[in-house]
Structure 1
Amino acid sequence: MAQYEQVYHALMNNNDVKQMLSSIDADDKNTLDEQITIAQIPAPPFSEDERADYIKKCLEELGLLEVKKDEEGNVYGRRKGTGNGPTLFVSAHIDSVFSKDTDTTVSEKDGIYYGPGITDDARGLAALLTLVRAFQQSAIETTGDIIFGGTVGEEGPGDLRGVKAFFKDNRDIDGFISIDAVSPTEIIYNGTGSFRYIVTYKGPGGHSFGAFGTPSAVHAAARATVKLADLEPSTDPKTTFNVGVFEGGTIPTAIAEEAKLAIDLRSNGEPELDSIEQTMFRFLQEAADEENRKWAFSSDEGVGYTIEQIGNRPVGSQSSSTEIVETAWYATEALALAPSLAAPASTDSNYPMSIGVPSITLGAGGQAGGAHTLLEWYRPEKGYLGPQRVLLTILGLVGTAGSSPTLRKRT
């Protein structure tokens, strides 16, 4: 613990750091304006180009080096250190959950800003740009390199495709910070994993009266759903299931030829997630077998099914005593805030954690609610605390002339 105390004693007495903290405070209104601008640029998963190009332009104008847009659509640039330090990737996600035709106009009432995506993750991207601006306007030299950027595909169907692609293309990253949500005190250091599937049952079909006794795809899907509904998964670590979509058939007088289920499995534990997946596979097969057996049909002649995995977010697990978590903790305390370890969540940090890269998710400041709804809102109360804490965490991790890096190089 003495190491971290020494690091933050040195940082909080560094005039360059004091100037950077003050500049973030002074930049608070500009950060909010940037947030509104970003929120009003549509960026649904797989259609993030317009917003990504805007972020890329901003990074170029702020003077980062090696600014690029990769094949997946991520945008990022580098601020070089003095050498021999760790390389840290700091990002916010570019995409939102809302479709291209959603009205993303931001409105204000009584100091609260309303608009789809105003917080998730427009606030994170605005905080990121504020951080880059603070670094570029400062004379401070870091030991390690910092890569600032935006990732695509964090939300839902995106399946973390951006952050997965980034880490496959950049093997030299020693640590990762995702800027997401708003809390300036919580530290998300573990990730909830999830598997998502589309299951399609198909059968011969027929007239509901004339072909009665023919296996039904809807009935088979219903059997599978009931089996899942009766399941009692682990509570520690928390493990869940959900059949979120059930659709099939055409009219009441036809035995259904097809039925589809959309299934979501989640857990904070990797063995538990794998276990409930295997249980689901067994239930799906049993449901088809039972429907065929009831009407004395073989599996070739009766109902069958296919499984398509549409989501695979790995469980992220690391100790609360890892350097990146401890550094964020002391950075929070340096601002006279009370840090807390948050419950696991599903963020961009899941993937790098799963491959052994120390990772955390930190909030971008302010207050927010209504995420993933048309009534999403943001209140810019002490919003500057979010980027200030991320700044201090970054400086602690990569090191400066007056303090050694707390983040170790992995290679």
Structure 2
Amino acid sequence: MSRIPGPIEADVLKTMDAIVKAPEVAKALELAQAGAEAAMALQVHLCEIPAPTFEEQVRAEEMVRLMKANGLKDVTIDGIGNVVGRRPGKNPEGPLLVIGAHMDTVFPAGTEIKVRREGNVYYGPGIGDNCSGLRCLLETVRCMNEAGVETEGDIWFCGTVGEEGLGDIRGSKYLFRENNTVNRIDGFLAIDNTDLGRILCSAIGSHRWRFTVEGPGGHSYSGFGTTPSAIHAVCLAGAKVAHLKVPADPKTTFTIGTIKGGTTVNSIAASCSVDIDIRSLDDGELKKAEDFIFKAFEDAVAEENAIWGVTDPKKQVHLKTEPIGNRPGGTRPDECPVLQASRAAQAALGIELTSYTDSSTDANMPVSLGIPATCLSAGGRQVRTHTIDEYYECFDIEKGPQLAMLAAVALVGLAGEHGTAPLLKKNGV
């Protein structure tokens, strides 16, 4: 646990107690339990629809069908590819909550995806991350609608694109940049991961850069002594980067994740590029690490040219930089209504808070804007995530939609005879 949480506020616990006792909510909780087997079949079905980052269209179209079948209104694919469906609240002045689960996987097009079952274990790339989240999202809708749970504020259910890797949470960014010009989103719940005891209180910011060194290149023998090497320059830079000291608190990290360059063993490389990931919970420390790495590459290029005494710009190696990722970060206080509601929902379901921590998810964007947001989990256990050997252990999967539903209802308010006031504020006021 990265952070020791403060107490759950008494008023929040009282609100949650009233929600759980409402007959329609109790029915929805039972429906989640009764529908667990069919829900797992849905998770398998979605997994077998390929959805590489930037190629989520086919899975998105199936999400449209499923959202409509589960009774959501105005289901559309937005301008970047997110699937958005609306569950109207009873009060036009109520807050707007978005619940999102990312549709994309890390696996490239052409990856064979056929889920194999052995007992309660399901094998398949993406079966946990994030088909468990999509299953949880759709089950939350189904249970609320079949039980007749009405809320004060609207809830949007959203399948997002581009959460993984170089997708750079583009779906979440679009959701908050474009939709917020028309509809102010007051809170956000991401569903990603399977550990029900985990709640994210912080979002890890990350910057990703591609550093490319280019020069004339040459023959390893005849060009030796007069031709600087792009690969040598990158190696010099990497050695400098390896000596970067970063703080443990706030945790700050860096890595040279990939390196590509050269053509043959007997060539002086004309080009070499690396992709670098820099992360921190603090924007200031992130910037310090980024500045150090930039200077390391600039100095290394100058050093490689100087080693061979090359002063003619046409014969030198040069540095090019390209941003390939920018995930904003931030931290929410313990009194944040989304954190309070999520923890109260855990307590109501008998789920122990075992990890009050940080990660990088679709929740990064709203957290960076000061919008109440966190990430919840779908139940079960995902193992060997992001590998073709990924598998999913199926247990407690009803608790994912139960958790999401209770937190959501508390945030937007339960309408009707057993109504509760929303914990979220409309338009931040």
Deviation at 1:396, TM superposition (A): 0.6
- How many residue pairs get aligned? The number is 411
Q: Could you tell me which residue of structure 1 aligns to residue 55 of structure 2?
A: 47
Report the 3-state secondary structure (helix = DSSP H, G, I; strand = E; otherwise coil) of the residue aligned with 2:382: strand
Q: Could you tell me which residue of structure 2 aligns to residue 391 of structure 1?
A: 405
2:208 pairs with 196, 199, 217, which one? 196
> Hey, which bits of structure 1, 4+ residues long, moved more than 3 A?
none
Matched residue type, 2:140: L
Unaligned runs of 5+ in 2: 1-8
Q: Could you tell me which residue of structure 1 aligns to residue 251 of structure 2?
A: 238
2:352 pairs with 331, 334, 338, which one? 338
Report the 3-state secondary structure (helix = DSSP H, G, I; strand = E; otherwise coil) of the residue aligned with 2:255: strand
Deviation at 1:256, TM superposition (A): 1.4
Matched residue type, 2:116: S
Q: Could you tell me which residue of structure 1 aligns to residue 379 of structure 2?
A: 365
Matched residue type, 2:37: K
Report the 3-state secondary structure (helix = DSSP H, G, I; strand = E; otherwise coil) of the residue aligned with 1:374: coil
Q: Could you tell me which residue of structure 1 aligns to residue 154 of structure 2?
A: 145
Report the 3-state secondary structure (helix = DSSP H, G, I; strand = E; otherwise coil) of the residue aligned with 1:129: helix
Report the 3-state secondary structure (helix = DSSP H, G, I; strand = E; otherwise coil) of the residue aligned with 1:188: strand
TM-score (norm 1): 0.97
Are 2:73 and 2:87, in contact at CA under 8 Å, matched by a contact in 1? yes
Report the 3-state secondary structure (helix = DSSP H, G, I; strand = E; otherwise coil) of the residue aligned with 1:394: helix
Deviation at 1:36, TM superposition (A): 0.2
Q: Is residue 217 from structure 1 mapped to residue 230 from structure 2 by the alignment?
A: yes
In 1, the alpha carbon distance for the partners of 2:161 and 2:330 equals 19
Q: Is residue 404 from structure 1 mapped to residue 416 from structure 2 by the alignment?
A: no
Matched residue type, 1:322: C
- Higher mean displacement: 153-162 or 308-317: 308-317
In 1, the alpha carbon distance for the partners of 2:149 and 2:377 equals 24
In 2, the alpha carbon distance for the partners of 1:86 and 1:142 equals 10
In 1, the alpha carbon distance for the partners of 2:311 and 2:74 equals 61
Q: Could you tell me which residue of structure 1 aligns to residue 289 of structure 2?
A: 276
Q: Could you tell me which residue of structure 1 aligns to residue 330 of structure 2?
A: 316
Matched residue type, 1:410: N
Are 2:128 and 2:381, in contact at CA under 8 Å, matched by a contact in 1? no
Matched residue type, 1:110: G
In 1, the alpha carbon distance for the partners of 2:312 and 2:176 equals 43
In 1, the alpha carbon distance for the partners of 2:236 and 2:312 equals 16
> In the superposition, relative to structure 1, how do residues 403 and 340 fare at CA in structure 2: closer, same or farther (>3 Å)?
farther
Deviation at 1:323, TM superposition (A): 1.2
> In the superposition, relative to structure 1, how do residues 51 and 299 fare at CA in structure 2: closer, same or farther (>3 Å)?
farther
In 2, the alpha carbon distance for the partners of 1:59 and 1:38 equals 13
Report the 3-state secondary structure (helix = DSSP H, G, I; strand = E; otherwise coil) of the residue aligned with 2:254: strand
In 2, the alpha carbon distance for the partners of 1:261 and 1:88 equals 40
Deviation at 1:202, TM superposition (A): 0.9
1:91 pairs with 100, 118, 121, which one? 100
Q: Deviations over 1:266-307 (max 9, x none)?
A: 112211111111111111110111111222223723110101
Q: Is residue 300 from structure 1 mapped to residue 300 from structure 2 by the alignment?
A: no
Q: Deviations over 1:291-346 (max 9, x none)?
A: 11222223723110101111111113211221110111111001122124432111
In 2, the alpha carbon distance for the partners of 1:234 and 1:371 equals 28
In 1, the alpha carbon distance for the partners of 2:95 and 2:268 equals 62
Q: Could you tell me which residue of structure 2 aligns to residue 205 of structure 1?
A: 217
In 2, the alpha carbon distance for the partners of 1:375 and 1:271 equals 38
Identity, in percent, stands at 39
Are 1:180 and 1:361, in contact at CA under 8 Å, matched by a contact in 2? yes
Q: Could you tell me which residue of structure 2 aligns to residue 158 of structure 1?
A: 167
Cα root mean square deviation, aligned = 1.3
Q: Deviations over 1:217-236 (max 9, x none)?
A: 11111111111112121211
Are 2:15 and 2:420, in contact at CA under 8 Å, matched by a contact in 1? yes
Q: Could you tell me which residue of structure 2 aligns to residue 123 of structure 1?
A: 132
Q: Could you tell me which residue of structure 2 aligns to residue 72 of structure 1?
A: 80
Deviation at 1:189, TM superposition (A): 2.2
